[in-house]
Amino acid sequence: MLALALCLSAFATVETTAQEYQAPPVTISKERVRSGGKIYYAHVVLERQTLYSISKAYGVTVEEIYGANPFLNLETDGLKKGQILLIPYKEEIAQQIAAQANAEKDQADKEAAAREKAAQEKAAQEAAAKEKAAKEKAAQEAAAKEKAAQEKAAAKEKAAQEKAAKKAAKEEAAREKAAQDAAAKEKAAQEKAAKEAADKEKAEQERAAKEEAAKKAAEKQTEDGYFIHKVRWFDDLDGIAKKYGVSKESIMNINRMTSDKLNRKQDLKIPLDPVLWEGRTVQVDEPAPVVDPDDNQVIEFPSEKKENAEDEDKEGFLDDLFVREGNHDVNISMLLPFSASKSGDRTSFMDLYCGSLLAARDLGRDGINLDIHTFDVGGGNMPVTHDRLAASDFTIGPVSKTDILKASALADGDSWVVSPLDMQVEPLADSLARIIQAPTPTSVQIRDMVEWIKSDMGRGDKVLVVTPSTPASDYLDMVEREMNNVGVSHSTTTLGSMRSLMTTQGVNRVVLACDFTERSTVFLLEAVRNLYQTTSSSKTTQIVLYSTSRIRTFDQIDVEQLHRLNLHACVTYFVDYNSQDVKDFLLQYRALYNSEPSRSAYSGYDLMKYFSTLANKFGKRWPRALHRVDYSGLQSDFKLEKTSTGSYINKAVRRVVYNPDFSISLVK
């Protein structure tokens, strides 16, 4: 009997445990991909999901899942949270899933109707009870109001008596205060007179000291005939001449200059009598030749030195830059906000750092020596010195516009600052020196999108720019401006009037123009759905949707609809998973960090690989190659264009097409 009781107890424990465990539900993925000529669902594994529950949800066998994911070694390693499984797509199973979803929806609608009816009945009961309570409350309030009126009258009489007493006391206090104020005023006047006398005597002494100092300075300046201005990185000769009220010619002559080009921290002589230095021919001493600090070889002689930046592109200079390639050590600073307030941001910045370290490892295997110094600039801190930045060939980060301003001011023109993630830093590259805007700005993506539309235009095609009901936005302004600049005839309309303007004689090429913030979500969902319904219901209405990378950030949009609309997107980030380099990176990243690389990880790898390769080849002259050497990375391309301030902006854009077979192709 005892053994039987123990068995029953153990069985009850097992049954209770089984009842308590609830496997997480499996939601059918909307993402589909094409691989090897077949279509698969792309399912992201959640915590505690099993191969059995996933296979049942998708209507396939566990063995079919094994076969579709040979590289994951599911038979031996099992599932991992966050893995992306390829699930075979079966039309008949998809139809069954859809039918089941409809049945569940009908049942839910019935239950909702029942709940609504019950709620209405309950509301009626509550309304009756509420009316009864209101009547009782009104009676109580009337009684209370009468009592309050009586109390108020008594209080008013008492307050009048107290007010009269306070008034008498206040008048007495005012008389006393007036007497005290008069005495204090007389004392303050005496103290003020004494202070003014002392200040006057001190001012007289300071004036005399300044006059004496000015006299000595004037005597010294008269002897030298000039004073010194220390040139800052943003100074130019015209501005300095205007500041001191002297002519540009006099400054150039007294300093024996042959051009108006200045060097940072140069001691520039400013003549006290500029007329003496105007219209004179001065003897210019030939300075020493410029020597490359890396190999102690002469780069160029002063007599051959270029007069301006455009001369660098003349024949011969470019050959010299590339002929003299070498193998130089690279010094790098990284300024990333690892202690950012948001957890998601911290993860993103750590991923960028991990990707850059993987690139550094690959560069090291190629024989390139890197010296990397990393600093946490979270919370507005900038724990790095000017000397450290000046010793760096380039600095990756910070990421925000405010922190990049701080880093640029700290570097003071002695280091290149690379903006790694924020596309809004573009204005800084137009106003500051030595800023490199790595992500391609939205304005560049828009221009490339408009040029793409123009190249695709055929007979009978029509271009529609669709906006929300309140269309004002910077994005719309940029689209309109580029349409006019490139010469693309178009119609700007709202969602309600869109269909009436469409053509059946050619292709309708549609651009959605909004601010692409969270408030645009409803407009984008509705616009994509309407376009999808239009092209699905009409065989004669052809639609191609064009956009920048911003539309891809809205996960709520049904990706199947984007494929049906043949989305043409101009983006700054796109990973081609068919690339062998990408496959190698994925395997190495998973092995090192036991996680999947994010967009930031790819960015870190591309940035470190591109700029370190240039610095390694050309040494201190590597910035000269920035607008001459393009680069295609794992996720981004680099085609840098120089600004008027000497900074650079990336103009490279990747064009991708969402095909009807659920594949995404990169346009070469």
Domain ranges in the chain?
Answer: 24-89, 226-277, 290-323, 330-440+578-655, 442-571
- What 3 state SS string does 376-426 have? ECHHHCCCCCHHHHHCCCEEECCCCHHHHHHHHHHHCCCCEEEECCCHHHH
Asked whether the beta carbons of 598 and 573 are under 8 A apart, the reply is no
Domains 226-277 and 330-440+578-655 share a fold: no
Q: Which of 22-31, 67-76, 498-507 has the largest mean confidence? A: 498-507
Residue 9: pLDDT over 50: no
Give the pLDDT band (50/70/90) at residue 324. Answer: low
pLDDT in tens, 153-174: 888 888 888 888 888 888 888 8
Mean pLDDT estimate for the chain = 83
CATH architecture of 330-440+578-655: 3-Layer(aba) Sandwich (3.40)
CATH architecture of 24-89: Roll (3.10)
Instruction: Give the pLDDT score at 529.
Output: 95
Phi, psi torsion values for 564, nearest 5 degrees: -65, -30
Give the pLDDT band (50/70/90) at residue 287. Answer: very low
Residue 3: pLDDT over 50: no
Instruction: Give the pLDDT score at 355.
Output: 95
CA distances from residue 475 to 353, 498, 567, 601, 656 in whole angstroms, order as listed: 32, 19, 18, 28, 20
Residue 273: pLDDT over 50: yes
Domain 442-571: which topology? Rossmann fold (3.40.50)
Residue 61: pLDDT over 60: yes
pLDDT in tens, 197-231: 777 777 777 777 666 655 555 555 445 678 888 88
Residue 232: pLDDT over 80: no
CA distances from residue 120 to 125, 129, 151 in whole angstroms, order as listed: 9, 14, 45
Residue 496 DSSP one-character state: T
What mean pLDDT comes out for the span 175-188?
Answer: 79
Instruction: Give the pLDDT score at 320.
Output: 54
CA distances from residue 622 to 330, 428, 431, 612, 613 in whole angstroms, order as listed: 11, 22, 22, 9, 9
pLDDT in tens, 106-126: 888 888 888 888 888 888 888
pLDDT in tens, 464-480: 999 998 877 889 999 99
Asked whether the beta carbons of 196 and 238 are under 8 A apart, the reply is no
Residue 12: pLDDT over 50: no
Q: Cα(544)–Cα(507) distance, rounded to whole angstroms?
A: 7
What mean pLDDT comes out for the span 258-276?
Answer: 81
Give the pLDDT band (50/70/90) at residue 295. Answer: very low
What is the CATH code of the structural domain delimited by 226-277? 3.10.350.10
